[in-house]
Amino acid sequence: MAPALLEVDGLTKRFGGFTALNGVSLDVTPGERFGLIGPNGSGKTTLINCVSGARRPGARGDRRPGAAGPRAVTPPMAPALLEVDGLTKRFGGFTALNGVSLDVTPGERFGLIGPNGSGKTTLINCVSGALPADGGRIRFEGHDITAVPAHRRTRLGIVRSFQIPKPFTSMTVAQNLAIPLEYAAGARSDGADVAAEAMEILRTIGLESKAHTRPAGLTQIEMRKLELARAMAAKPKLLISDEAMAGLSSAEIDDILAILFRLNERGITIIMIEHIMRAVMRFSERIVVLDAGERIAEGTPDAIVRNPVVEKAYLGE
């Protein structure tokens, strides 16, 4: 029998205290058509990220390309794209965030949930630079950005969409994209034609036919798509989607989810803040839960829905 093309032997991967892969073993033979399935949060994407080198396995993990050869050297673990360490934010005597810490890895689909008033919006306002933090540190791509102003964070690649779209009403849809393409993404632009880039983004989002329409002529879901398109025009490395699906129908939610999945497949890391549990559970690989300004839980969607602490936060005793 020919040696396996790929052998995975006891692969383990942890995110903090959460174990995403626990001693997984498999092998793939040369020329094989091999399927990998499992429910959301089962670890499929984490496994292929470890196999491809996008993430480093834990101490027990091992990958061997070709059994006849020596064991491959595990590549160095890439630093977290975003690190939030002990973040605190106060409004007078009220503490909105109390020492919150989390990290988001490159390419991850990350969910941030919690009851109303839990601190989600305050956290992303601090991450994006809209609000200054009163304590703690924020690092992006290994660099401390705690004191960096919002416009410079956008140029670094941190971009957010807003729950209530506020486009330039006197401009067409395509012209609305030209502003972030010209100014927000200008420092990272490769000199491509702005109009052509705007049309490419609209094709991706599904608004190409509305390119020369003003925002007043858009439906609710088209306005949400325009908000995502404007965020995309800033060429994000990290996209923070703030309740992009609020008030939409079930079919419209699926439409927005499909767009976010496509953007993530292109390499964009996405943080989803959402109250629609069906959407955030389907989309996220890992979820952090906030309550009263503190982090109370972290895990896969399946683990979060079974967590009694999360249930108590939403439903009470």
pLDDT tens readout for residues 123-164: 999 999 999 999 999 999 999 999 999 999 999 999 998 888
Q: Tell me if 245 sits within 8 A of 256, measured CB to CB.
A: yes
Residue 42 burial by Cβ neighbours in a 10 Å radius (0-12, 13-18, 19+):
middle
Q: Which phi and psi (to 5°) does residue 229 adopt?
A: -65, -40
What pTM value is reported for the model? 0.72
Task: Kindly report which listed range (14-23, 196-205, 228-237) carries the lowest average pLDDT score.
Answer: 14-23
90: alpha, beta or left, given left = phi > 0 and alpha = psi -120 to 50? beta
Annotated domain spans of the chain: 6-65, 82-315
Residue 199 burial by Cβ neighbours in a 10 Å radius (0-12, 13-18, 19+):
middle
For the chain, give the mean pLDDT: 85
Q: Which phi and psi (to 5°) does residue 252 adopt?
A: -70, -35
Q: Domain 82-315 in CATH: superfamily? A: P-loop containing nucleotide triphosphate hydrolases (3.40.50.300)
Q: Which phi and psi (to 5°) does residue 124 adopt?
A: -70, -25
Give CA–CA dist 111/241, Å, rounded: 10
Residue 3 vs residue 8, higher pLDDT = 8
Average pLDDT on 221-234 reads 90
Q: Tell me if 286 sits within 8 A of 18, measured CB to CB.
A: yes
Q: Tell me if 81 sits within 8 A of 105, measured CB to CB.
A: yes
Average pLDDT on 280-299 reads 94
pLDDT at 15 > cutoff 80: no
∠ Cα 212 217 218 (to 5°):
95
pLDDT digits (tens, 9 = 90+) for 169-226: 899 999 999 888 887 655 445 545 888 888 999 998 889 999 999 999 999 899 999 9
pLDDT at 311 > cutoff 70: yes
Longest dimension (CA), the chain: 71
Cα–Cα distance list, 156 to 48, 101, 150, 180, 241 (Å): 28, 21, 10, 13, 17
Q: Tell me if 89 sits within 8 A of 133, measured CB to CB.
A: yes
**pLDDT score of 10:** 85
Spell out the alpha helix ranges (H) of 105-210: 120-128, 150-156, 173-179, 194-205
pLDDT at 246 > cutoff 50: yes
Residue 19 vs residue 112, higher pLDDT = 112
Altogether, the residues listed in the chain come to a count of 317
pLDDT digits (tens, 9 = 90+) for 38-88: 766 677 878 887 888 765 555 434 434 443 333 444 444 557 999 999 999
